[in-house]
Structure 1
């Protein structure tokens, strides 16, 4: 199984001790492992942490969650957007979507294995 590293926003991180505390929290939320690296990208506002992810999520537990996807106009549009949106969160699209703010925001149903 392939692994890759991504930088994920984590809010402000003030120092290495703070990074070591927040990094594993962010990694766990994304079904990954904190690699120990973080960086400030906007001083006093935003830092990122580096998280190692598996290219193909596995596990015996599943959970489905709706994730923000921007506007989706119809089923055909959902079929283009939702697989990409779910993959960006480490999941797979389950075929479900809905508009939550007309003309502005929809969500895709994503299934996560862990």
Structure 2
């Protein structure tokens, strides 16, 4: 199976020891594996960690979660937006969506395999 690497925001990390401790947990939350690499991108405010992900989610366990998607205006709009939103989190769209703040924020139902 193919893999790829990317950086995921991790909030402020103050030391390599902290990054090595928290990195695996943050990566696991994104269904990935911590590469051991990290860097501060805004001093005192934000760091990123290196994460390796599979190109296709695998596993026999599934979990469904609503993820923020910005405003969605209709079912047709959701059909265009939600597959990409869910894929950006490593999941697949399950066909569900809802508006949580009228005119401002909706969520897409995403299924994750692990």
TM-score between both structures, scaled by the size of structure 2: 0.99
The CA distance in 2 between the partners of 1:106 and 1:21, in whole Å, is 33
Pairs within 5 Å for 1:48-67: 48-67=48-67
Tell me how far 1:15 sits from its aligned partner: 1.1
Give unpaired runs (5+ residues) of structure 1: none
Moved beyond 2 Å, runs of 4+? none
SS of aligned partner of 1:87: helix
- What value does the CA root-mean-square deviation take over the aligned residues? 0.5
Tell me how far 1:31 sits from its aligned partner: 0.6
Pairs within 5 Å for 1:71-82: 71-82=71-82
TM-score between both structures, scaled by the size of structure 1: 0.99
SS of aligned partner of 2:90: coil
Matched positions, count: 114
**CA displacement, residues 69-91 of structure 1 (integer Å, 9 cap, x when unaligned):** 00000001000100000000000
Equivalence for 2:99: 99
Tell me how far 1:22 sits from its aligned partner: 1.3
